[in-house]
Amino acid sequence: MEYFVQQLINGLTLGAIYGLIAIGYTMVYGIIGMINFAHGDIFMVSAFIALIMFVALLSIGLTFVPLALVIVLLVTMAFTAVWGWTLERVAYRPLRESFRLAPLITAIGMSIVLQNFVQIAQGARVKPLQPLITGGFEVMEHDGFVVNLSYMQILIIALTVALMWVFTLIINRTSLGRSQRACEQDRVMAALSGVNVDRTISLTFVMGASLAAVAGVMYLLYYGVIDFYIGFIAGIKAFTAAVLGGIGSLPGAMLGGMIIGLIEVFWSAYFTIEYKDVAAFSMLALVLIFLPSGLLGRPEVEKV
């Protein structure tokens, strides 16, 4: 029981990180209907920016962790957003009216470029960061097995919930969100009614990238090590989460992330850790076969 609760907490934390990345996939897919393959690598770049910021702040003597965290979060979000914007501008916008596979190929190309760029600029070695947020609560104890809820896990889950709330508000209440939903339904019609489609799509990438940046900071703090390759596998899992939850749906992405996180953690805990990715991917295949529009997605109407 205690073991189960502990795994539940770990799974939800991991799921929150996947969910944050998944939102970027789901928003981009919803609005322009393409897999932004390089999104996972944007997440990786953000983790590097955060690492450099943390080390820089610590080296100038800023050791008050909450302040450092806020500064790093804001700076990382801002600079990662520039990466997201540039990605769309350079690799996707020229091909927006082109056929479907073209942006997918540039996306894979950009993913290769980002990985190798960071590898060249920062080296291929794993980069460690000393633990900054330590300690936690003992939730329960039984027969010497202590269930821990660390401050880090509380921070990740709380921040994720808060961001979900903010972004749901943005999508549902603001004019930007309205334009996004309009573009999602019909880009030409939205343009005719005066929505600046280019700007809306750019802002979608900016939003997705800044959420990935939050995930990057959390990943860095939670695991303490990053390298240039973390984006690929996290990206696939997050996309799986987005599809699982129903593409285009924000709560769906979060739900999908949680499910993938839980499957991964429970599978590693009770079965074999080697096959945890196989478990997550099998889940994806099963869901798509039996529920092609995902858990919370709208069923796609086939136009003839």
Partner 1 sequence: MAQPATSISARLPEALKDAGIAAFISLALFVFIVGIRTLDDPGVLLLEPRPWLLAGAVGSVFIGRLILNLFFWSGTEAEDALTSALAPVGRAFGRISPWLTPALVAFAVLLPFMPFTDRYILDVSIMVMTYIMLGWGLNVVVGLAGLLDLGYVAFYAVGAYSYALIATHFGLSFWVSLPLAGLLAGLWGIILGFPVLRLRGDYLAIVTLAFGEMIRIVLINWYSLTNGPDGISRIPRPTFFGLELTRRGDPSFHEFFGIPYSPLNRIIYLFYIILALALLTNFVTSRLRRLPLGRAWEALREDEIACRSLGINTRNTKLTAFAIGAMFGGFAGSFFATRQGFISPESFTFIESAIILAIVVLGGMGSQIGVVIAAIVMIGGFELFRELEQYRMLMFGLAMVIIMIWRPRGLITSREPSVYLKEKKAVSGDLVQEGKG
| Distance in Å, CB of 47 to partner 1, minimum | 11
Residues that bind partner 1 (CB under 8 A): 29, 33-35, 45, 48-49, 51-53, 55-56, 59, 79, 82-83, 86, 90-91, 94-95, 98-102, 104-106, 108-113, 115-123, 125, 127-130, 232, 236, 239-240, 243, 272, 274-275, 277-278, 281-282, 284-285, 288-289, 292, 302, 304
Which of 2/277 has CB closer to partner 1? 277
Which of 174/272 has CB closer to partner 1? 272
| Distance in Å, CB of 205 to partner 1, minimum | 14
| Distance in Å, CB of 209 to partner 1, minimum | 12
Q: Are 204 and 28 in contact (CB under 8 A)?
A: yes
Which of 120/166 has CB closer to partner 1? 120
Which of 90/166 has CB closer to partner 1? 90
Q: Are 104 and 86 in contact (CB under 8 A)?
A: no
CB-count exposure of residue 279 (10 Å: 0-12, 13-18, 19+): middle
Closest by CA to 84, choosing from 197, 175, 214, is: 214
Which of 71/95 has CB closer to partner 1? 95
| Distance in Å, CB of 239 to partner 1, minimum | 6
| Distance in Å, CB of 162 to partner 1, minimum | 25
| Distance in Å, CB of 299 to partner 1, minimum | 13
Q: How many CA within 13 A on the CB side of residue 270?
A: 14
Rounded to an integer, what distance in angstroms lies between the CA atom of residue 155 and that of residue 158? 5
Which of 13/80 has CB closer to partner 1? 80
Closest by CA to 259, choosing from 78, 16, 21, is: 16
Rounded to an integer, what distance in angstroms lies between the CA atom of residue 126 and that of residue 116? 14
User: Which amino acid is located at 217 in the chain?
Assistant: V
Which of 15/235 has CB closer to partner 1? 235
Rounded to an integer, what distance in angstroms lies between the CA atom of residue 190 and that of residue 179? 7
| Segment holding 149, helix H or strand E | strand 145-150
Residues 6+ apart with CB under 8 A from 91: 38, 103, 106, 107, 109, 110
| Distance in Å, CB of 240 to partner 1, minimum | 7
